[in-house]
Structure 1
Amino acid sequence: MNATTFAPQEVLKQLEWRYATKEFDSSKKIPEDVWKVLEQSLVLSPSSFGLQPWKFFVVGNPEIRQQLVEHSWGQKQVVDASHLIVLAIKEGVNEKDVDTYLSRMSEVRNIPVDKLEGLANMVKGFLDQPSDVFDKDAWSAKQVYIALGFFMFTAAMLEVDTCAMEGIDPTKYDEVLGLKDKGYRTAVVCTAGYRLPSDKYANMAKVRFKTEEVVEYID
Structure 2
Amino acid sequence: MSIIEKLQWRYATKKFDTTKQLSDEKLLTLKEAFNLTALSYGLQTLKLVVVGDKQIREHLVKVSYGQRQVVDSSHLLVLCIQTIIDEEDVNKHFDTIKAIRNTPDNILDPFKAQMKSTIEGMPLDKKIGWATKQAYIALGNLMTVCAIEEIDSCPMEGFMPADLDKALGLEAHGLKSVLLLPVGYRAKDDMFADFKKVRKQLSETIIEL
Task: State the TM-score, normalized to the length of structure 2.
Answer: 0.96
Of all paired residues, the percent bearing the same amino acid is: 37
Matched residues in 1 for 2:135 and 2:43: separation? 11
Task: Check conservation: 1:21, 1:162, Cα contact below 8 A.
Answer: yes
CA positional deviation for 1:131: 2.2
**Greater displacement, 86-95 / 16-25:** 86-95
Task: Check conservation: 1:87, 1:144, Cα contact below 8 A.
Answer: yes
Matched residues in 1 for 2:177 and 2:121: separation? 24
Name the structure 2 match of 1:5.
none
- For structure 1, list consecutive stretches of 5 or more residues without a partner in the other structure: 1-8
**Greater displacement, 15-24 / 202-211:** 202-211
Name the structure 2 match of 1:3.
none
1:109 aligns with 2:101: yes
Matched residues in 1 for 2:15 and 2:106: separation? 52
The equivalences for 1:67-82 within 5 A come to 67-82=59-74
Q: Letter of the 1:181 partner, please give it.
A: A
The equivalences for 1:106-185 within 5 A come to 106-113=98-105, 115-131=107-123, 135-185=126-176
User: Per the alignment, in what secondary structure is the counterpart of residue 195 of structure 1?
Assistant: coil
Q: 1:98 aligns with which of 60, 67, 90?
A: 90
Q: 1:26 aligns with which of 10, 18, 21?
A: 18
CA positional deviation for 1:140: 0.3
Runs of 4+ in 1 over 6 A off after TM superposition: none
User: Per the alignment, in what secondary structure is the counterpart of residue 123 of structure 1?
Assistant: helix
1:204 aligns with 2:198: no
Superposition RMSD in Å: 1.4
Matched residues in 2 for 1:99 and 1:183: separation? 18
Task: Check conservation: 1:20, 1:163, Cα contact below 8 A.
Answer: yes
Name the structure 2 match of 1:17.
9
Task: State the TM-score, normalized to the length of structure 1.
Answer: 0.91
User: Per the alignment, in what secondary structure is the counterpart of residue 186 of structure 2?
Assistant: coil
Task: Check conservation: 1:98, 1:124, Cα contact below 8 A.
Answer: yes
**Count of residues in correspondence between the two structures:** 209
**Greater displacement, 83-92 / 103-112:** 103-112
CA positional deviation for 1:147: 0.9
Instruction: Quickly say closer, same or farther: Cα 1:102–1:62, change in 2 above 3 A.
Output: same
- For structure 2, list consecutive stretches of 5 or more residues without a partner in the other structure: none
User: Per the alignment, in what secondary structure is the counterpart of residue 63 of structure 2?
Assistant: coil
User: Per the alignment, in what secondary structure is the counterpart of residue 77 of structure 2?
Assistant: strand
CA positional deviation for 1:92: 2.6
